[in-house]
């Protein structure tokens, strides 16, 4: 996730407006930034790695003359955070500048074609193909708008772009596919940005672009055209009543809720992860004599899910280990044949880094999954995959958990194909289901929000509760427990449902709340037995199960039915109502869900 913005003003300079907008968008990414304006027929570009204020103190981003400009704050996905990889990107002639938010799937092919036609690339980004493509069409005599239209027709993947060209300094051309983009209409000027947060101080009149829209924005008007047909369309002007704070959170009251609802898009981005990185990790996983999955907190729960995926789909046994226990438990036995897959959203968790550092000196192979390019994990690992989830601001991990699961599923799928130990049919079926996941999560959010919000009133009064699941849902139960406990501060217990009779069941008395995670998988028939055990002791049964599972519904005091999916993917769908429950329970109890007490987003001490 990156933030883009642009402004064109009848009279005066746009530098200050762009700088303020960038600051508002900084929460969308902050590893590098840049601004470009047109002044006296020339493009001026200032960009660098670092946070916006740091770059400003080095380059003075306010010292950029010109009444038209675009700007970008970056969260790296292709190419490390560096000066050359920072946006805006320009063409060979230095007359076209582009800022982009999204991931282009076919940039490699396009880049090769363009290089064969003598275009010179400076960065390692996917974005740079866009100015070069536009340059091609401009050279053929097309106007800027037409050139952008043609270029967009060649792009596959997600994008929100803003383009300026010295040959037509009276307009900014925008285009959107799956990444957000808004136009802001103000007096004497018009603006654009990834979200309304960057616009709200100038105007509350906005136009939300839709997928497949291209827009031509001048200082006193705008026009929208469909990219596929070239036909103009009308889009309504919306008057926002949002405060600045609400706008930064996309209209949601907290970042956590925004991030929960961002998940369908985040999962779509995860599906676009470049295959060559997945292939590389798969290669290492396949080579190991033993494979450890190391992580902390929510990322550990993701590893637990991953261990079921690797085993069931790729027939690879892996050992999920809590990072702070790894050295004590396995340190002495690891060696050159050991492969360690470290999973860390931040890539900076001290427990994880210490473990992999230790393992590295014992010649183990370290590979990683992280959300932060340039983090220590990306520097230590032999190879890594980026989650593409964008920065997560809520301390409790939500969208980064489901995107980790998506990456693990993609790896398990590739490993399954490579090892060929399960049937082609099974592997294909898994792949089809994986592609449906963003849509299923979207549906789940719709189904769950209201019933869960109501339930949170009751849950907020509990003094303790159980979360039980069997098989892969054991990991979902652990994550549900972690979310609810860390945000509502209610002590909770999660256990494999089958193990609950070996101890925890003694806690149960009349009315004690027990949550079951009950997808329609092989573990279901035994889970019913566990529900019966709890019911027999007077427990109040809350179940999240499959839509249409009348048997479990009848056994439950509260039931939420979710869309069916592949059993190995159920945690991605089933965790969603529990994320919502954690959020709403915290609100009910009067706590700040974005900043739970005593916790930190990234824990850099042992
Ligand atoms: C902290 C955070 C958790 C997170 C854990 C691991 O405890 O509060 O939300 O799951 O660290 O973080 P990582 O960045 O390594 O995934």
Write out pLDDT tens, residues 515-555: 999 999 999 999 999 999 999 999 999 999 999 999 999 99
Check pLDDT > 80 for residue 259: yes
Give the C-alpha separation, 266 to 440, whole Å. Answer: 13
Mutation test of ligand 1: which of 260, 295, 296 has the most ligand atoms closer than 8 Å to its C-beta? 296
Residue 546 lies in a domain: yes
Give the C-alpha separation, 566 to 248, whole Å. Answer: 35
Task: Mark whether 138 and 272 lie in a shared domain.
Answer: no
Domain end residue (candidates: 177, 210, 245): 245
- Ligand 1 centre and the CA of 601: distance in Å? 6
Residue 430 lies in a domain: no
Nearest CA to ligand 1 atom 5: 297
Of the pLDDT bands very low, low, confident and very high (cuts 50, 70, 90), residue 129 is very high
Task: Mark whether 205 and 318 lie in a shared domain.
Answer: no
Q: Which domain holds residue 530?
A: 449-592
Mutation test of ligand 1: which of 259, 345, 400 has the most ligand atoms closer than 8 Å to its C-beta? 345
- Ligand 1 centre and the CA of 308: distance in Å? 21
Task: Mark whether 220 and 86 lie in a shared domain.
Answer: yes
Pocket of ligand 1 (CB under 6 A): 296-299, 344-346, 349, 352, 395-397, 599-603
Residue 437 lies in a domain: no
Residue 606 lies in a domain: no
Check pLDDT > 90 for residue 76: no
3-state secondary structure of 412: helix
Check pLDDT > 80 for residue 44: yes
- Ligand 1 centre and the CA of 402: distance in Å? 14
Strand partners, 45: 36
The string of pLDDT tens digits covering residues 324-342 is 999 999 999 999 999 999 9
Check pLDDT > 80 for residue 459: yes
Nearest CA to ligand 1 atom 7: 297
Residue 603 lies in a domain: no
User: Based on the structure, what is the number of domains in the chain?
Assistant: 3
- Ligand 1 centre and the CA of 49: distance in Å? 25
Asked if 366 and 342 count as a contact pair (C-beta separation under 8 A), the reply is yes
The residues carrying an active-site annotation are 2, 601
Domain end residue (candidates: 218, 245, 272): 245
Mutation test of ligand 1: which of 394, 401, 603, 605 has the most ligand atoms closer than 8 Å to its C-beta? 603
Residue 537 lies in a domain: yes
Give the position, in ligand 1's atom list, of the atom nearest the Cα of 396. 9
Give the C-alpha separation, 92 to 442, whole Å. Answer: 42
Check pLDDT > 90 for residue 598: no
CA distances from 507 to 299, 474, 483, 493, 500 (A): 28, 19, 21, 10, 10
Give the C-alpha separation, 258 to 260, whole Å. Answer: 5
pTM of the model: 0.84
Give the position, in ligand 1's atom list, of the atom nearest the Cα of 323. 15
Angle of helix 424-459 relative to helix 399-419, nearest 10 degrees, comes to: 160
Mutation test of ligand 1: which of 601, 604, 606 has the most ligand atoms closer than 8 Å to its C-beta? 601
Task: Mark whether 346 and 486 lie in a shared domain.
Answer: no
User: Which pair of structure tokens corresponds to residue 221?
Assistant: 């008007």
Query: What pLDDT score was predicted for residue 391?
Result: 81
- Ligand 1 centre and the CA of 119: distance in Å? 43
Is residue 603 classed exposed, middle or buried when 0-12, 13-18 and 19+ CB atoms within 10 A define those classes?
Answer: middle
Task: Mark whether 462 and 407 lie in a shared domain.
Answer: no
Nearest CA to ligand 1 atom 3: 297
Task: Mark whether 286 and 190 lie in a shared domain.
Answer: no
Residue 597 lies in a domain: no
Task: Mark whether 57 and 71 lie in a shared domain.
Answer: yes
Asked if 32 and 50 count as a contact pair (C-beta separation under 8 A), the reply is yes
Asked if 519 and 549 count as a contact pair (C-beta separation under 8 A), the reply is no
- Ligand 1 centre and the CA of 583: distance in Å? 17
Of the pLDDT bands very low, low, confident and very high (cuts 50, 70, 90), residue 243 is confident
Asked if 475 and 304 count as a contact pair (C-beta separation under 8 A), the reply is yes
Asked if 75 and 26 count as a contact pair (C-beta separation under 8 A), the reply is no
Give the position, in ligand 1's atom list, of the atom nearest the Cα of 400. 16
Query: What pLDDT score was predicted for residue 605?
Result: 72
CA distances from 189 to 66, 69, 183, 219 (A): 13, 12, 11, 5
Nearest CA to ligand 1 atom 8: 601
Give the position, in ligand 1's atom list, of the atom nearest the Cα of 486. 8
Task: Mark whether 171 and 312 lie in a shared domain.
Answer: no
Q: What is the CATH number of the domain that holds 531?
A: 3.40.50.10490
Mutation test of ligand 1: which of 349, 398, 483, 594 has the most ligand atoms closer than 8 Å to its C-beta? 349
The string of pLDDT tens digits covering residues 565-584 is 999 999 999 999 999 999 99
Share of the chain above pLDDT 90, in %: 86
CA R_g for the chain: 25
Asked if 5 and 35 count as a contact pair (C-beta separation under 8 A), the reply is no
Give the position, in ligand 1's atom list, of the atom nearest the Cα of 349. 15
Task: Mark whether 270 and 407 lie in a shared domain.
Answer: yes
The string of pLDDT tens digits covering residues 145-166 is 999 999 999 999 999 999 999 9
Task: Mark whether 180 and 285 lie in a shared domain.
Answer: no
- Ligand 1 centre and the CA of 391: distance in Å? 13
Name residues whose C-beta falls within 8 Å of residue 40's C-beta, 6 or more positions apart in sequence: none
Query: What pLDDT score was predicted for residue 81?
Result: 85
Going by DSSP bridges, is the β-strand pair 492-496/465-469 parallel, antiparallel, or unpaired? parallel
Task: Mark whether 234 and 265 lie in a shared domain.
Answer: no
Considering only 186-200, 244-258, 460-474, which range has the smallest mean pLDDT? 244-258
Residue 432 lies in a domain: no
Q: What is the CATH number of the domain that holds 217?
A: 3.60.20.10
- Ligand 1 centre and the CA of 197: distance in Å? 27
The string of pLDDT tens digits covering residues 296-306 is 999 999 999 99
Give the position, in ligand 1's atom list, of the atom nearest the Cα of 298. 10
Name residues whose C-beta falls within 8 Å of residue 175's C-beta, 6 or more positions apart in sequence: 148, 149, 152, 159, 160, 161, 163, 181, 213, 214, 215, 227
Domain end residue (candidates: 245, 280, 304): 245
Question: Greatest CA span in the chain, whole angstroms?
Answer: 81
Region of residue 503 (left: phi > 0; alpha: psi -120 to 50; beta: else): left
- Ligand 1 centre and the CA of 255: distance in Å? 16
Task: Mark whether 219 and 288 lie in a shared domain.
Answer: no
Nearest CA to ligand 1 atom 4: 297
**Region 269-294: what's the mean pLDDT?**
93
Is residue 564 classed exposed, middle or buried when 0-12, 13-18 and 19+ CB atoms within 10 A define those classes?
Answer: middle
- Ligand 1 centre and the CA of 2: distance in Å? 22
């Amino acid at each position: 996730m990156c933030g883009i913005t642009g402004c064109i003003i009848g009279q005066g300079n746009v530098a200050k407006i762009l700088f303020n907008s960038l600051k508002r968008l900084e929460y969308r990414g902050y590893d590098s930034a840049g601004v470009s304006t047109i002044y006296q027929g020339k493009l001026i570009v200032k960009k660098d790695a670092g946070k916006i204020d740091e770059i400003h103190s080095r380059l003075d981003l306010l010292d950029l003359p010109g009444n038209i400009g675009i700007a970008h704050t970056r969260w790296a996905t292709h190419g490390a955070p560096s000066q050359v990889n920072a946006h805006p990107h320009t063409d060979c002639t230095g007359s076209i500048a582009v800022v982009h938010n999204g991931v282009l799937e076919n940039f490699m092919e396009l880049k090769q074609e363009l290089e064969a036609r003598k275009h010179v690339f400076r960065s390692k980004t996917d974005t740079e193909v866009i100015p070069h493509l536009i340059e091609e069409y401009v050279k053929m005599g097309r106007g800027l708008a037409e050139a952008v239209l043609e270029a967009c027709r060649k792009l596959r993947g997600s994008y929100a772009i803003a383009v300026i060209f010295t040959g037509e300094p009276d307009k900014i051309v925008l285009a959107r596919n799956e990444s957000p983009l808004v136009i802001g209409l103000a007096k004497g000027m018009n603006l654009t940005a990834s979200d309304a947060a960057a616009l709200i101080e100038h105007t509350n009149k906005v136009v939300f672009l839709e997928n497949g829209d291209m827009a031509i924005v001048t200082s006193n008007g705008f026009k929208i055209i469909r990219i596929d047909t070239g036909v103009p369309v009308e889009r309504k002007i919306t008057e926002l009543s949002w405060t600045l704070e609400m706008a930064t959170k996309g209209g949601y009251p907290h970042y956590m809720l925004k991030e929960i609802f961002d998940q369908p898009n985040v999962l779509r981005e995860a599906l676009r992860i470049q295959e060559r990185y997945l292939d590389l990790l798969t290669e290492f996983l396949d080579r190991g004599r033993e494979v450890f999955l190391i992580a902390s907190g929510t990322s550990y729960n993701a590893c637990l899910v991953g261990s079921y995926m690797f085993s069931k789909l790729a027939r690879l046994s892996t050992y999920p280990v809590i990072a702070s226990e790894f050295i004590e438990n396995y340190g002495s036995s690891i060696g050159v044949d050991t492969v360690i897959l470290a999973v860390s959203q931040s890539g900076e968790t001290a427990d994880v880094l210490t473990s992999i550092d230790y393992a590295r000196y014992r010649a183990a192979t370290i590979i990683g999954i992280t959300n932060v390019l340039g983090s220590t994990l990306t520097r230590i690992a032999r190879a890594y995959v980026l989650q593409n989830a964008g920065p997560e601001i809520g301390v409790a991990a939500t969208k980064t958990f489901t995107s980790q699961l998506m990456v693990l599923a993609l790896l398990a799928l590739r490993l399954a194909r490579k090892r060929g130990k399960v049937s082609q049919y099974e592997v294909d079926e898994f792949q089809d289901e994986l592609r449906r996941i963003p849509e299923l999560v979207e549906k789940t959010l719709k189904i769950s929000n209201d019933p869960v919000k109501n339930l949170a009133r009751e849950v907020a009064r509990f003094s303790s509760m159980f979360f039980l699941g069997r098989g892969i849902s054991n990991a979902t139960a652990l994550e549900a427990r972690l979310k609810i406990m860390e945000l509502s501060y209610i002590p909770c217990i999660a256990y494999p449902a089958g193990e609950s009779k070996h101890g925890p069941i003694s806690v149960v008395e009349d009315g004690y709340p027990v949550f079951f995670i009950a997808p329609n998988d092989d573990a279901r028939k035994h889970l019913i037995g566990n529900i019966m055990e709890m019911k027999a002791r007077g427990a109040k049964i809350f179940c999240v199960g499959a839509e249409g599972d009348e048997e479990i519904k009848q056994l439950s005091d509260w039931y939420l039915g979710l869309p069916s999916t592949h059993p190995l993917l159920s945690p991605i769908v089933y965790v969603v109502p529990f994320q919502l429950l954690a959020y709403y329970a915290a609100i009910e109890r009067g706590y700040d869900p974005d900043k739970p007490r005593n916790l930190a987003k990234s824990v850099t001490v042992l």
